[in-house]
Structures are given as structure tokens and as C-alpha cells.
Structure 1
Amino acid sequence: MARTRLPSLDALLAFEACARLGSFEAAAQELALTASAIAKRLAGLEERLAQELLTRGAKGLALTPAGHEYLPQVRQALALLQAMPLHRRASQQRERLRVTSTPTFARQLLVPALPGFTAAHPHVELELTLSVPLLAEGDAGADVEVRHGAVPDDIAPAQVLLRDRLTPLASPELLARFAPLHTPSDLLALPLLRTPLQPWATWLRAAGLTDTPEPDDGPRLVDLGLTLAAALVGQGVALARLSLARHELAEGRLVQPFALTVPAERHYGLVMHRPSPAAAAFSAWLHDHCRALQENSSAAA
């Protein structure tokens, strides 16, 4: 008995998605492929069947008569495969989500809260990678990105996670080595840590120190977390985001010498590159988490 040469499962999935969604692009997004790959799989299936299944037009894809006849048969076969117990194991039902984040946000805000997301969404397998903000180097394969940038140039207003406030923070050990700080101008006697990600100008202006230039001594730290780390070991005063330093402030490892705070000019935002149920769940969870952090910071102030 001659063995029937069956089309590939990938080709059948591509056909079903194209028929349901009406375009190569939408099917590609759902199946995490490129539109070109979807088109090739469909073309291969049509060549094997010697039948055109979908017409390609300006308004999208449409089923041919042969496609109308073939689609319910394909859906029935796919449903049978999905119903098999071995195919429905928990490990097969997990949805993978790749998130890239700036290092300090990941370390200070995201990782400590991840158990809450995992408990609420046990079916999502989350993979976290780090980006380098100043060099604009991220993870090209990420589904979701936590980005640090200007609004609206780098981040849309709806994507903003935190609208942070900045204030000088220092370790008690550093402050003990200098005369007590009574006015903001006294701060100029201390080493001021510098980072291109967060210049001092805005806070200095708000403090009335308009003629004070940016600090130009000491290492230039191209990461907000490194700036906090340097402040913690007493190397200088950091102009820091209250949300990122909340644990260090609560534990007394950093001190806020002045009540004056200013709004950050750049913000953290969440950018979704590949929409999916897992990406939508993560986005909603992270927005809620950051909203709670911001409300707690406002209440504490």
C-alpha cells in the first residue's frame, strides 16, 4: 500500500492562521514567525496539494473554493492533535515570554517583584535579559522591553511605567566625613557622582544653584545602578530616583539630606514588540506594580 505523503504540521498551522486572521502579518505575529516564512509555508502547502487555498489581494487573504472545503478538515485534524493527553501536558501549555530591561530597573524593581507575577501566571515561562540604555543596545528577540527614555520620543505616554522624582542621596559614612549640610549649597563641598543618564542640572536649578556646572571629577558611571552602588560605599552623592533607592533608604544605608525633589526628565516605559496573551498579562501586572510603587512613594512624601 502506497504511503500518503502528508503536508507538514507547520504548513497546516500557517494555513489555518492565515484563513482565520486574513493576512500573512497577523498569522506571523500569532505564530512568532516572519510574514515571509508564513507565505513560504502556505505556498509549499498549495504546491503539494496542487490547489490554491487562499487568494492574495489588496484587502488581504481570502479562501478559494478549495480552501473553503479544506479548512474545516484541517481544523478537525488540529483539534484531534490538540486533544491528545500527551499534547496537553502542562509543559506543552506553557507560554514563553522574553523580557529585556535596563539593568537597574531589573535589579531594583522588577526581580524582587517577579514571584508575584509567577504566582499569578504559572503558565508563563519568563526569560529576563538586560539592555544597555546609553548605547541603545537591547535584545532583538525580546517580546517586551522596559525602556528608559524621553516622552514622547522614546516612549509613548501610555507606555510610561513610572514618573519618578530625583533627589540627592548619600551614605551616612560619607556625610559623617564632612560638615553638616544645612543648605543645598553645602552639598557642593562633597563629591557629586556623575552619570550621563541623569545630569544634576535640573535639581541644582531648583535649589537655586543656577551657576553650578555639572560635576567633572571622578568616574563617569554609565548606569544608574552603578551610581547607587558608588553612593552606598561612600564614594559620593548620587542624584537618584526615589523608586530605585527605596530599600536602601528604608534600611538607612542611604540618607536624603534635603526634602527637595524634582521630576525626572526621562522615564521608564514598557514597549511591547510581539503582542501575545503572556505579553499582555505581563504588561498589566507591571503597570499595576509600578502604579502601587508610585502611590506609596507619594504617600511617604
Structure 2
Amino acid sequence: MKITAWFGVVLGALSAAGEVFITKPGQTVNLKCGGHTDKNLEWRHGNKKIYSILPRSPGPLKGESEIADRSRLSGTDLRIRGVKEQDAGKFTCIIDGKSQEHTLLVVSLSLRSSADLRLGSEATLECNVKGVNPEPAVQWKRPGGSVHTESQIAQLKPLARSDEGTWSCTFSHAGKAHSESIEIKVAEPVRTTLAPVPPKNSKDVTVPKPPKTPMGLSWWMWVVIGVGCVVVLLLMVFVICLCRRIKRRKRVLRKMKNGRQRPMPAQYCQCNRPTAAAKPQQGRRREKPSAPPLQPLLMG
């Protein structure tokens, strides 16, 4: 009887044992809880509630933590999208009065370089593990499997062809070894070729090509185009001046024509007639003119 009870306690403890989940920033992780959804269920991140299900609730109740906006329930499992470094830590699943504590480790691998990853350049590898305090000791392994350094940072000065391949960041947690990898590709350095300098006494002297002008036209074509534009501009100015002169002349002719057609003042004809003789008064007798006096006869 005691053996049966002890076996049940051990079985319950094993069933309640948590798991370690490892992921990278930006990925999706699924935390398992087991059991059925018709029982009491609650997910917590540290002391903050993420989701809870009550027997009489119409559905899952979301918490107020930031991680709740990126999470959803899949049965009793908690699915987190777009993992961030601050999501690392302890997650507690409480179901039917039993709790399970899981650990989420977020491993960040970074590769920094002052220039392109080319032979002879410099690069820095860095590995950070978030979720446990203190952070576990890490070491970098080269593509061949040999240990490069037992530190979070690996300096590659200078980059060689042997540095190309898969680099692994390894660490241990709860007695288990874990590893995350990153790929490095090394390119050939850029070679600049200089034009050969001809000897001074060489007969085959290459004439330098004239510099290229815009739109591939030679300089004399641009001169012709410029002269043509100037001629067209002068013609336009001449036509405009000619039109204005013609209009001005028309206005002057119109004014002169209007001045000639003005009405002249009325002039009356005056006749120079001799005045009529005065009429004789009635009642008077018209006297006969007297005879001229006789002149004496001259005697011869």
C-alpha cells in the first residue's frame, strides 16, 4: 500500500515537472500544459496573468499583460507569436488545481561587421541567453567543431576562408546541453585593376578618348543646337516686334481716316447784288430831266 502511494506521488511529481523551451527572437513557440479545456485553466508569465478559463465562463479570459496580445490558446497549450527577449522566463500553467512551471529561453545571435564579409575584413559574433539568472556560460564553436572561445563574444580578425560555415553557440541548463547556430559566408575581396602605363619611348601611343557628353552627343552637335536655339529666339523677337509695329501703324491710319470724315460747319451763300433803286414816291410828279446846256459854236 505504501509502495502504491509512493509511486502515485512520484508519478504526480513527474507529470507536474516543467519543460525548457528554447527559441529565437521573432519566432513562434508552443508551451504545452496537457489536460482538458473543460477544467479550470490559467496561464501566467511570472506574476502576470495571460489567459484563464473558468467552468462557467463563455470563453477564455485574456489578461492585461503585453504578451497576451501576441498569444492564443490552442486547447490547453499557449502559443506565442513574435517572441521577444523580454518574454523569456518562467511560465506557469495551472490546470485543475495542479501547476506546471516551464522555462522559456530566448537565444539571440548577432553578427556585426564594419564592412562586407570579405576576406581580410573584421567581424564580431555575439550570443546572449535570456530566461535564467544568472545567464549560463556560453562558448563558440567553429565550423569544424573546435572551440573558438568560451565567451559570449567571438572576434574574427581578420576573416579567413576557414571562418566560412556554421558557427554554434553552446550552453548548458538544468544538466542539458543546448545549441544555436548561425551561418557565415565569406566573399572574395574586391580587386581594383589599374590601367597599364605605356612606356615613354613607345610608338603606339593611344590617343585618349574625349570625355562623354550628356545623351552621347559630341560637343560640336551641342554647339549647333545652341546656335539654332539662339536663331529661333531672335526670329521670335523679330516677329513680335514686327507685329507690334503693324498694329501701331494701323491705329495711326485709323485715326487719320476718322479725322477726315468729321462734318464741316454749315456755310451759307452770300450774293453781291446791286441794291435796288428806290421806288418813286406816289403823289409827286415825275420831272423830266433838264436838257443839257447848249454849248456855243466855235467859229472858224
TM superposition score normalised by structure 2 = 0.21
User: Would you tell me which structure has more strand in proportion to its own residues?
Assistant: 2
- Structure with higher Rg: it is 2
User: Higher helix proportion, which one?
Assistant: 1
Does 1 or 2 have the higher relative contact order (CA < 8 Å, sep 6+)?
Answer: 1
